[in-house]
Amino acid sequence: MKSVIPLLLASLALTAVPALAQPSECGALPSSAQRARTCNPQEQCLAQVVKNLKGGALDSAKRDCQRLPTSGTCYGPDTFNPQAECKEQQSSKKK
């Protein structure tokens, strides 16, 4: 029983430390990033090659596009500031 109390106090101290360190975590985030979004890589590929290629090159590129998945996660062009969003969320939690 005597060894349980120090363990309990240590676990409480360890859980309080991350809560106190949270405001400085925003500074560890990048100042610029691209937001993830759902997309269709195959469809996007086809749209690009139809605009830029003709003839045999277009046919070959279409076959290459068909190898891509029809759904997935893409990044961009929606750029945002993770640091600013973090600070904004923290200030709204304090209110």
pLDDT digits (tens, 9 = 90+) for 19-58: 444 556 898 999 999 988 889 999 999 999 999 999 999 9
- Rounded distance between C-alpha atoms, residue 65 and residue 52, angstroms: 14
Residue-level pLDDT at 27: 87
Mean pLDDT over 2-8 rounds to 51
Q: Output phi, psi for 75, to 5 deg.
A: -125, 130
DSSP letter assigned to residue 32: -
- Rounded distance between C-alpha atoms, residue 71 and residue 38, angstroms: 7
Residue-level pLDDT at 64: 95
Q: What is the pTM of this model?
A: 0.47
